[in-house]
Structure 1
Amino acid sequence: MDLDRTRIYGLVGLLAVATLCGCLQNTDVSAETEPTASTCMNCHNGSLHNDYAGGGLENPHPFPGAGSIECSVCHGGDPNGNGMLGSHVPPPPEIGDENNQIEDRRAYFNRLTLVGIDKFPDYEVNGVTYTALDYLQFVNPGDLRVVTQGKSCGACHMAHAECVSKSLLATEAGIFSGAMYAIGIDNQVPAQQTLYGDTAADLAFRAVSDPDFVHDPSVVGPVGELIEFPVISQRNTGELFRNDAFNATDLSADQLADGRAASGSNLAKLFHEQVAFTCGDCHLGSAGANNRYGDYRSSGCTACHMRYSSSGQSASTDPNIRKNEPIDPDDIDEPERAHVDRHLIRGIART
């Protein structure tokens, strides 16, 4: 496995998101008289059976051999729950409902970008314990943090999921590692500090490794491990935000005589954080900034295989999707979020 190669062929072959996976067979329900539809199907599509025969939500995966995958196979939730509250996976308290996202900017940021959700602890709602990945799977089954667990898309396309999760499109190792190299920060993986003239990649959106990796001196670039590129800042005085230790006048001492930034210094931390927020939102591990016209998407498989309009507004026939959200695509406001154009898996042309 070469962690520094894009391996785009893995991504373009990846059928992704939502109801992509589960691999159920088509069933003939024409002879049935009693309703058999899940709560999801009945509410979002209107059909009495799990066949997308209603006038609502589009069938996202109308492919031979798996043309009527039930919603919960990929999204999770309770297909037999009572209404929205009984069927949907509730958000973790760090995100909360829309009223909370209006008041709590961090909660809204995490919901909009999907950043950091996998870090939230388990939580309990109405006697049921949920994990953060349960919620992440519900809002985006194509997220790489979900599919690499063998869920949703990964249930049928695990080889693709593993390939993509280790590609540059997912790790963004070139930007994260390259930025730190540019200011002279030491490689953070000791075994890789001398590789390729000390230019080996060491950082990624999430840690990845290859236990079978063997260094080949005749090949430049491959590494066996990437560690997580952490987000340092917090909204408190103990970190970067409103911390007097990061005033410009105090940072000059963190620059070495040869021009490099001292590893672990406040100057290095500040540069690190700027890279994370200004250059680090294009990888598949999150939904990116997701807050302006022409930049709306989701994370993971969904980023390529579920198209968004430039405005982020939905044209789906699902009656429960707000079609005018965001109201102003150039100025999205809490608690608005973008929606896929249509609830349909799209193929990506091979290049």
Structure 2
Amino acid sequence: MTLRALKVTSASIVFLAILFFIVLVYVGLYEVVNALDVKAYFRYASDGKFEQDVYFFREAEEAKTEIRSSLKVLLPDDATPSRIQEYFKLLLQDETLLKEKMNENNKYIEYLKNNNVTVDDAVLYMKKIINLDEIFLYPASYVGMLLFILILYFLYKWRISIFILSGILYFILVVDSFTAGIFLDAFFPVLQNIYSYSGKVTGSFYLLSYDDYLRLSKNFLPATREAALTFIILDTVVQSLKDSKKRRRSSKFLVAYLELEFTLQFLSGIKGDLIVTNLKTVDLEEIYNLCKENKSDEFAMKAKEKLDEWRKVTRNQKMTVSELYERLLNIHNYLKKSKYIRENIIR
């Protein structure tokens, strides 16, 4: 197996792990809201009118409307919904019949009037409660896919691939938006056939439903787009900071390089074996740091090696002018041959 194939395989495994992570975030979001203020659900579903479920629980029961009892006929015999979303989904399977049953309950209608709401408000409330799962799945998908993109960036170094795929995804979703969702909807049979074929191969025989496809096209893909845009913004900021740091470093290096050339000219004119105890005319530390950062540049690394030797020598012994000149000249010659320094700094 080639390195590229190995990377793709491992990235696929990471993606499966991210899907599990999305489920954890999804559940965690519910736990956070439950811990902070459970009334937030009811304020959202009632458009800020109520802080508890006045339509079907507690207050409705206390008013002896018996609304839940009267709606039991709409539930399948073996249905035991454990969540309020599941309970409302079963009732809304036939919305027209549900409204008829509600309107037949005179006590319930009177109760709704006393609270300045209608049957339509109750049905809308139910739909919003059901939609909570989709609402929480969106940020969970966003967080999960952002983490996945960051993993691809830091571990796999796929920066360019991320940009290309993000552009393709953004293009598809923009076209879908311009066509009122028809563009992506047209791919449903294709994806369904792919799922059907993969099910035959794996033996799972899972048929993709239209609701699942809508969840993918209207929830997961837009969340992935937002995650990609977040990454692009972060990458732009980081690259800007890096470029700014690089410009400052290059500016300091250029000053040090000019100081080095001036010092070489000065030393070339000195006769005799004068002893040099300390060199203060050249900032060799800036030259060393820039060479150290460019490990792929052969001559920058050789200049760094010469500077390492310089450090050892200057700590243990003094140098004559001629020795100092020769050492600085060697460093200067390597710097002139460095491709990075020649193309980016010394032009």
- TM-score w.r.t. length of structure 1: 0.30
* Structure with a larger share of its residues in helix: 2
Q: Which protein shows a greater Rg?
A: 2
Higher relative CO (Cα under 8 Å, sequence separation at least 6) belongs to 1
- TM-score w.r.t. length of structure 2: 0.30
